[in-house]
């Protein structure tokens, strides 16, 4: 039995959709903090259970009978929480449930020394996995490409200005492709032991590249403007963004310009059997 955590989230829901194309629904268990949001999964024949990393006592029943557990990483840091503690609880519960293998949605830039704090969490979680005493796979996922239009590009296509701090190459990768890869690995158990190669799209564009893409896609010049870190930080604070999120956001730019997210690999395309979607695909306006 395959247990998928965060089953109603942006990634977990996609993983289950991909699993349903590869295996019987009776082999899948979806865990979520709010089972009421999972009615569509129940209708598809998937068993839905309550499971909350912040409530470790809920995890024993959530993971009961698991052969494999996919731990979708916690976003607790965005709200001042302890994501590593969440992951430690989930790993311990999966081991106690007798799971043969734990899969964890790590990141291509996982490192204890990264300028981007979430990478510390991924690195620390991989240490916990390594010491857990059971088989494990860390999915070294690329950055979610879907965040670029809403969090970085925003209204640049209409204003003609893409303003953000100095950056570097980033292997932006879609959730759809990463979910397909996770499902492929879950249904081919043991394909990877330990960290995977970077699971990324085939290119790592900069924001200069993104501005050029937008210019071509929308038929108007979009200029890339480099904003000073302190000015950008002040602007985010003025918009009401919480301090932990401001710090995480700036850290991403600092890590990117240090080249931490520049690596690309053919591994994702090999897993899903197609060319991964590109940032250009994500930025393209909807077809009419």
d(CA 256, CA 266): 21
CATH of the domain at 18: 3.40.50.720
Buried residues in 130-147 as b, exposed as e (16+ CB within 10 A): eebeebbbbbbbbbbbbe
Return the pLDDT at 241.
87
Task: Report pTM.
Answer: 0.95
Asked if residue 116 belongs to a domain, the reply is yes
How many domains is the chain partitioned into structurally?
A: 1
Asked if residue 192 belongs to a domain, the reply is yes
pLDDT in tens, the chain (288 residues): 999 999 999 999 999 999 999 999 999 999 999 999 999 999 999 999 999 999 999 999 999 999 999 999 998 877 778 999 999 999 999 999 999 999 999 999 999 999 999 999 999 999 999 999 999 999 999 999 999 998 899 899 999 999 999 999 999 999 999 999 999 999 998 889 999 999 999 999 999 999 999 999 999 999 999 999 999 999 999 989 888 888 889 999 999 999 999 999 999 999 999 999 999 999 998 865
Asked if residue 153 belongs to a domain, the reply is no
Half-sphere exposure of 184 (CA within 13 A, CB side): 19
Domain range enclosing 45: 2-142+174-200+265-269
Asked if residue 76 belongs to a domain, the reply is yes
Asked if residue 195 belongs to a domain, the reply is yes
């Amino acid at each position: 039995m395959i247990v998928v955590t965060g089953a109603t989230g942006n990634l977990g829901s996609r993983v289950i959709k991909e699993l349903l194309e590869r295996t019987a629904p009776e082999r899948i268990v979806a865990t979520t903090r709010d089972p009421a949001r999972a009615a569509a999964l129940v209708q598809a024949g998937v068993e839905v259970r309550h499971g909350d990393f912040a409530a470790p006592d809920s995890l024993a029943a959530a993971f009961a009978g698991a052969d494999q557990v996919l731990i979708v990483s916690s976003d607790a840091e965005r709200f001042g929480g302890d994501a590593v503690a969440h992951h430690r609880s989930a790993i311990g519960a999966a081991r106690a449930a007798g799971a043969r293998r734990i899969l964890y949605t790590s990141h291509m830039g996982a490192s204890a020394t990264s300028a981007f704090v979430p990478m510390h969490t991924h690195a620390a979680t991989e240490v916990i996995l390594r010491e857990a005493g059971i088989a494990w796979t860390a999915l070294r996922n690329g950055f979610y490409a879907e965040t670029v239009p809403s969090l970085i590009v925003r209204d640049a296509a209409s204003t003609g200005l893409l303003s953000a701090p100095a950056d570097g190459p980033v292997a932006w990768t879609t959730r759809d492709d990463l979910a397909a890869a996770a499902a492929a690995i879950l249904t081919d158990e043991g394909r990877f032991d330990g960290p995977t190669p970077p699971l990324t799209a085939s290119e790592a564009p900069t924001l200069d590249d993104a501005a050029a893409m937008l210019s071509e896609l929308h038929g108007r010049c979009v200029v890339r403007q480099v904003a000073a870190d302190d000015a950008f930080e002040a602007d985010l604070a003025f918009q009401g963004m919480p301090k932990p999120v401001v710090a995480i956001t700036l850290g991403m730019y600092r890590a990117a310009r240090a080249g931490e997210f520049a690596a690309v690999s053919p591994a994702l395309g090999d897993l899903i059997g197609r060319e991964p979607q590109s940032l250009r695909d994500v930025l393209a306006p909807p077809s009419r």
